[in-house]
Amino acid sequence: VEYNVVDGKPYVASLNGKGDDPELGMFWFVYLKSLSSDKDPKIVEESPVDIKLEPNDEIILWYKRGPWSGQSLMQNSFTSP
């Protein structure tokens, strides 16, 4: 994972060599979902270092177009123990 530092906090900028692409409007977004809930994942607008995971929480790193346009291309999930 590569990251950019904004206001002293890291934000995901690249994963497995796939980086943010402002020209195409593609960026990494961080979502949080509880595996014990049927609710949709919620976007995380703070730095990943500020996320407080609970048991069964899942962090989803989602490479997709910004909210101003369409489809997602890639999604990766990481589950807390």
Question: How many folded domains does the chain comprise?
Answer: 1
What was the pLDDT predicted at 4? 92
Q: 79 lies in a domain?
A: no
Range of the domain at 54: 2-70
Looking up tokens 């996320």 gives 51
What was the pLDDT predicted at 51? 92
Contact 44, 33 (CB under 8 A): no
Q: 16 lies in a domain?
A: yes
Q: 77 lies in a domain?
A: no
Task: Report pLDDT digits (tens) over 18-74.
Answer: 999 988 999 999 999 999 999 999 999 899 899 999 999 999 999 999 876 655 455
Closest CA to 12 of 33, 24, 38, 30: 30
Predicted TM-score (pTM) of the model is 0.74
* Residue 21 per-residue DSSP state: B
SS3 for 2?
Answer: strand
